Structure 1
Amino acid sequence: MSRGFTIIELLVVMAVLAVLASLVAPRYMEKVQTAKEVALRHNLQGLRTGIDQFYRDQSRYPENLAELVAKRYIRSIPADPVTESATTWVPVPPKEGGNGVFDIKSGAPGRARDGSSYGTW
């Protein structure tokens, strides 16, 4: 008598695993998107804090994000977690004119889970 699994038993196990994977995968992808959005909000808050501290110390806005790094207000320019790039940030100049970075926005296309555009954060 030989021991082992029949092809039917293997197919049943594979079908059960496929059903379980199809139930778990959408929830996993939802959690990944939520984590990216939380990280984006955190990165924006850190960059805005660095810009504000620079303005308080220097009485002017930084020319670009690299100046924040050079003057050690931030360690490095963080990557936008949605675009996975540190070059997609959109600097907002001061409203009263002049040069510099008054605020920072995400350059990520699309909308967040709450329906808002990433560019409005």
Structure 2
Amino acid sequence: MKKGFTLIELLVVIVILGILAAIVVPRITGRVDEAKVEATKVQMKAIKDSLEQYKLDNGFYPTTEQGLRALVEKPNTPPVPTKWRQYLDKLPKDAWGNDFIYISPGVQRPFELRSLGPDGKEDTEDDIDVWNL
């Protein structure tokens, strides 16, 4: 006599696995999103520190036109920094693969540095601003 599983037993196991997946998966994906936000904040702090060092060396921040690329390559558009050095090894992107938004001078700050956040859309609730970390 062969022993095996009945259809009911298999369905019960599948339902239990489904319930476990419904509980565990959202917790894991939520942690991934939180980790990406934190990683982006860390990158933004490093960029902000590099911008501050750039200003200390040269007396001004890179212009919007020069952008964050001025931290990696010496700009040749005015104002050209006289004491430039490489501040970052490469131009970083946020955790979702998007470029950071850099504007200098900013509206009420010396510069604006933002990430579009998980949705990749500007001026939404999930945007990350360096001045609000």
Shorter-chain TM-score above 0.5 = yes
Deviation string 1:26-75 (CA, Å, 9 cap, x unpaired) is: 21222122112111211110110111111111222222111211242112
Tell me the TM-score normalized by structure 1: 0.76
* Equivalent residue, structure 2, for 1:48: 48
Matches within 5 A, 1:55-70: 55-62=55-62, 63-70=66-73
- 1:85 and 2:106 are equivalent in the alignment: no
The share of aligned pairs that are identical, in percent, is 30
The structure that is helix-richer by fraction is: 1
* Equivalent residue, structure 2, for 1:12: 12
Question: Cα gap change, 1:48/1:103 in structure 2, threshold over 3 Å: closer, same or farther?
Answer: farther
Deviation string 1:62-91 (CA, Å, 9 cap, x unpaired) is: 22111211242112222212xx2242x211
* Structure 1: gaps spanning 5 or more residues: none
Q: Distance in 2 between matches of 1:3 and 1:75?
A: 64
Q: Which one of 64, 73, 90 corresponds to residue 76 of structure 1?
A: 90
Report how many residues are paired. 110
* Structure 2: gaps spanning 5 or more residues: 74-84
* Equivalent residue, structure 1, for 2:37: 37
Q: Distance in 1 between matches of 2:90 and 2:112?
A: 17
Q: Secondary structure at the match of 2:72?
A: helix
Superposition CA RMSD, Å: 2.3
Query: 4+ runs of 1 displaced by more than 3 Å?
Result: none
Q: Is contact 1:92-1:105 (8 Å) kept?
A: no
* Equivalent residue, structure 2, for 1:107: 116
